[in-house]
Chains A and B, each alone.
Chain A
Amino acid sequence: MPPTVKAALAATLLAGAAALSPQAQAATPRDALVMAWNLDALITFDPAQIAEVNGNDIIRNVCEPLVNYDLKDVSKMVPGTAESWTTSEDGMTITFKLRDNLKFPNGRTATAQDAVWSMHRVVGLGYGNSANFTQWGFTRDKIEQQITAADDRTIVVKMDRPYPVGLMLSAMFASGSTGIMDSEIGKKEAKTVDGRYDWANPFFKTNPVCVGHYRVTRWNTNEVVILERNENYYGEKAKLRRVIIRHVPESAAQRLLLEKGDIDVARLLNTDDLRALSKNKDVEVTATTIHGFSYLAFNAQDPIFSNPKVRQAFRWMIDYQGLGSTVLEYQGTPRASLVPIGAFGALDEKEGQPFKLDLEKAKALLAEAGFPNGFTKKFIHSANSISPQIAQHVQANAAKIGVNLQLEQMADAQLFTRARAREFEVLLIGWGAGYPDADSMISRHAVNPDNRPEARLAQYPSWRSSWQDTKINEMADAARMERDTTKRIAMYHEIQKYMMDNGPMAYIYQTVRPIAVRKEIKGFAMTPFDVDYATAGK
């Protein structure tokens, strides 16, 4: 028999045997939480660098901030690695007292010096997360004087203005950027490359040594992330020894894996798969409304979109109710105001969503603006999740009143590039607020400190839209510094109403984070800002 025929026989035999072989036990390991997710965007575990949702979700289980959001109510702050804090009488200094039994996974004791070094490094590296500090007046030049360690357990933070402490705690000290890294390892691994100190970023990228419930033990890009329990954790240790996060970028595949019990948790599911799973008795679907938005941004440089009436017309072209009961099920809650429900100072659900589908009204607004016959514009959006459906929905409604939108879908990376460079006419994009206070959204989406192109303030969506309103800038600053809670709320309400009429964005929905979990998993806790892996048990 010639060799090829033999090979053919062998291959056929193998194939048959594989098909008949017993399948894997449809159960996940007893001491592990197995989660399927899309890990495409994950490029680092350095808490100073992480800029995307999924990485942030993971790192908050690896790197604990100085203070935590209460798992039941995010407007309340509870101790994290700091057991207490005090504010000076002039309101300019906050002093944190660290717990006395903080240990890194490697057994070394974590001190205030480690904590201070870690915060300096966030600002020193200057990635997007440094804004957690710089927006409160901390700067690269002065940070070493502004945040200091008085002794092994005391951190002293000096501010340049008396910001309300509650705001500071939730905005700055509960952010992942205040996690305590091992400065001994950090200083050893750090190098100076091309005259720049790298703060051990290349080392911590894959191996963040940090105080938290878990530590990262394996990360195969676009394949799997494995976390092991930190046996030296100061408090109650995580219930499960390992967390295995597997890259499964398809909703349908995640659903199958979950139904078969190959995974415990599915994090990337579309509406229809979620609807099907919610009927499955082995699975529980939880939808948490989080502090993020999906919105249309208009470029005010464009002669047509510079007209607020045109932008207003778009708000009447969105079928908020129709979307809400179909496409947005498990994905979002229709909302037109820029402050998310659940944040301090938000308009209530009704006031924050006064629009409905009304093409007559939209057409009238366009006519008032001088475009009774419509116009043609390019509309770019992400290819991910439900963005294509939302975009096509808006496109179809707009077409009915003569507005011709030419859609182009692209990868997120490309969409961000275009948005940041102001290279768009209309785009559909998302944004996550950093903390549960109206200030979080308003300070970026409404405030624009400098609208000149050369200012390149691309971290401000308002700048990306080339939109600036000095009155709003002043109002937002006044509201931020206001210590009277009632007054502060009133000021935020006013800003939100103004933005709904004049702003450069049409907010479509507040993001919902759907998670489908098998019933074997007990006690899994989550908030809009945290998914707490350590609480999950079997």
Chain B
Amino acid sequence: MAEPKAAAGQPPAAAPSSSPPRWVRPLLRQLASVAVTLLGLMALAFFIGRMLPLDPVIAIVGEQAEKETYDMVYRQLGLDKPLWQQFLFFIRDMLSGDFGNALFTGNRVADDLKRVFPATIELATFAIMIGVGIGVPVGVLAAVYRDSPLDHSVRFIGLLGYSSPTFWLGLMGLIVFYAWLDLVGGPGRLDVSYIDMVEPVTGLLTVDALLVGEYDVFWNTLSHMILPGTILGYSSMAYISRMTRSFMLEQLGQEYVTAARVKGQSKWRVVWRHAFRNILVQLITVIALAYAFLLEGAVLTETVFAWPGFGRYLTSGILAGDMNAVLACVLIIGVIFVALNLLSDLLYRLLDPRTK
């Protein structure tokens, strides 16, 4: 995974020194700029969709279809209308939540997304649990024992995480742990004999299985999830531990830490009670961002593990030249990231003591 880019939202400008609702105006301005960004997103998505060098009509009528049928479907899809009109229709549809039909699956895109998103969420949640569970404590330790061998190895392992092609780790993992050692489940979310045993409620197989008490299904899902989840988790761990370390270093260098130590508080009490508590807001933002970036990691990991989630849906859509599916996915990712950035800005504004 590439190192996630900095938050897209601007760092909050110094608040203008006027009357009571002094945070209202920047907020409104921010919302307006988000609206403009979203419009731009749609334009970009639309542009990409129209540039796809594939013919959506063929996906529907089949490769051996005749001219009349072809022309009919062409008109049905509105492809004969001028481009600006198509764009207006597109915006109207998007705003009303209608993403149209996915040509390569034959279903409504909205239905497809409802089906594939839980698979990715489940995987990403598993991964972020690993990322946070290991990344945060390790990052804190690395900061406390700065420049020790521990710090260096954490750093190296982190860099290794940044540098590994996730798809390759996935393939190697499959060869070693599935094909050779037979320790984990193979590609897919479930063994075939468990398919259809649990009715989807949340769409998260582990949760659904526990809800009805099908423990076999639960363990089977978990055995399929552990490899892709760990690999994705490794990349978020690399990012989270690194950010934790640098946030902690900043805190540990502050005077209050020295002061607390002088007052006789124990080292670990200072680290966890004071320093760590102070980085929580920043950390939550980072974790949220890492969670969203798992969507990117998912594109390749899901391809390798035949995981029927969002990432594979997007790649199949792109490879099949499916405008509607690709547009919807691209737009959703854009919206998620814009929302996250907005959220992190707000969090800073509301919680960070320094902006008060």
Contacts and interface: CB of A to CB of B under 8 A. Distances in A.
A touching B, CB within 8 angstroms: yes
Interface of A: 2, 4-5, 7-12, 14-15, 17-19, 21-25, 27-29, 34, 40, 43-44, 49-52, 125-131, 134, 194, 196, 205-206, 218, 220-224, 226, 244, 246-250, 253, 256-257, 260, 262-263, 411, 413-414, 416-418, 420-421, 455-459
B337 interface: no
Most chain B CB within 10 A, of A22, A218, A417, A456, is at A417
A15 B228 CA distance: 12
Given A4-B133, A5-B137, A40-B316, A127 B61 contact: yes
Interface in B188-219: 188, 191-196, 216, 219
Most chain B CB within 10 A, of A18, A44, A126, A194, is at A18
24 contacts: A2-B272, A7-B132, A11-B134, A14-B222, A15-B226, A15-B230, A18-B219, A18-B222, A21-B223, A23-B182, A25-B193, A28-B193, A43-B59, A127-B62, A128-B63, A206-B106, A220-B308, A224-B196, A253-B306, A260-B182, A411-B54, A416-B63, A417-B54, A420-B55
B133 A7 contact: yes
A404 to B, nearest CB: 23
Given A23-B182, A29-B193, A131-B64, 17 more contacts: A2-B276, A7-B129, A8-B133, A8-B134, A21-B222, A23-B185, A34-B193, A51-B63, A51-B64, A128-B61, A128-B66, A223-B308, A249-B306, A262-B186, A417-B58, A420-B58, A458-B67
A150 B20 CA distance: 86
A13 to B, nearest CB: 10
B208 to A, nearest CB: 14
Interface in B131-180: 132-134, 136-137, 174, 178-179
A251 to B, nearest CB: 12
Contact of A51 (B54, B62, B178, B316): B62
A263 B190 CA distance: 13
A255 B220 CA distance: 20
B66 A130 contact: yes
A130 B72 CA distance: 15
Interface in B290-322: 306, 308, 312-313, 316, 319-321
Contact of B54 (A5, A10, A206, A414): A414
A8 B128 CA distance: 10
A246 B188 contact: yes
Prevailing SS type, chain A contact patch: mixed
B320 A413 contact: yes
Contacts, number: 193
Given A9-B133, A11-B133, A246-B195, A127 B69 contact: yes
B260 to A, nearest CB: 17
Given A8-B133, A21-B222, A220 B192 contact: no
A257 to B, nearest CB: 7
Nearest to B76: A194
Interface of B: 53-55, 58-70, 72, 76, 103-107, 112, 115, 129-130, 132-134, 136-137, 174, 178-179, 182-188, 191-196, 216, 219-220, 222-223, 225-226, 230, 272, 276, 306, 308, 312-313, 316, 319-321
B203 to A, nearest CB: 12
A28 B195 CA distance: 11
A196 B72 contact: yes
A521 B65 CA distance: 38
Contact of B192 (A5, A7, A221, A262): A262
Contacts of A29: 193
A413 B193 contact: no
A304 B103 CA distance: 37
Given A27-B193, A244-B195, A247-B306, A222 B316 contact: yes
A459 B223 contact: no
A10 B70 CA distance: 56
Nearest to B134: A8
